[in-house]
Amino acid sequence: MKILLLATILLSTVIVGSLLVHNYIQDTAVGFTEHIEEIEALVDEEMWDDAKKEMNLFKKDWEKNIKFWMTTTGHEEIDNIEKNLIESYNYINLESRESLVKLALLKYFFEHIYTKEKVNLHNLF
């Protein structure tokens, strides 16, 4: 009986923790994708100074979150984000419109992280 109680407490903690982590990841990922869309609009209008400024903010924001994301998300996903972030950052600094391709990929990887964690039949099976 004591073991069942302990296991129930442990499982409840895991469920609550998972829900909180899932919500946090979703909220931050949505925030990141919205920010990317803003940068995309600036690049599209070739407002390079503003795009560089926003990209710097985005990078700093990501660096604040990366440690937590590493503990809860597959590292392969993080590597994909990191790679595309570096490329986007440098393309923007070079004032190249190719950065739009990399930003689109970056947005895709952020969306992919929270869509693959959604509880639905497609992800379960």
Q: Which is nearer to other proteins, 14 or 86 (CB)?
A: 14
Q: Which is nearer to other proteins, 2 or 60 (CB)?
A: 2
Residue 107 burial by Cβ neighbours in a 10 Å radius (0-12, 13-18, 19+):
buried
**Cα atoms in the 13 Å half-sphere on the side-chain side of 69:** 23
Q: For residue 62, which of 92, 90, 84 has the smallest C-alpha distance?
A: 84
Q: How far apart are CA 6 and CA 78, in angstroms?
A: 34
* Shortest spacing between CB 44 and other proteins, in angstroms: 35
List contacts with other proteins (CB under 8 A). Answer: 1, 3-4, 6-8, 10-11, 14-15, 17-19, 21-22, 70-76, 79, 116-117, 119, 123-124
Quick one: residue 95, left, alpha or beta (phi over 0 = left, psi -120 to 50 = alpha)?
Answer: left
* Shortest spacing between CB 29 and other proteins, in angstroms: 14
Q: Which is nearer to other proteins, 3 or 49 (CB)?
A: 3
* Shortest spacing between CB 93 and other proteins, in angstroms: 29
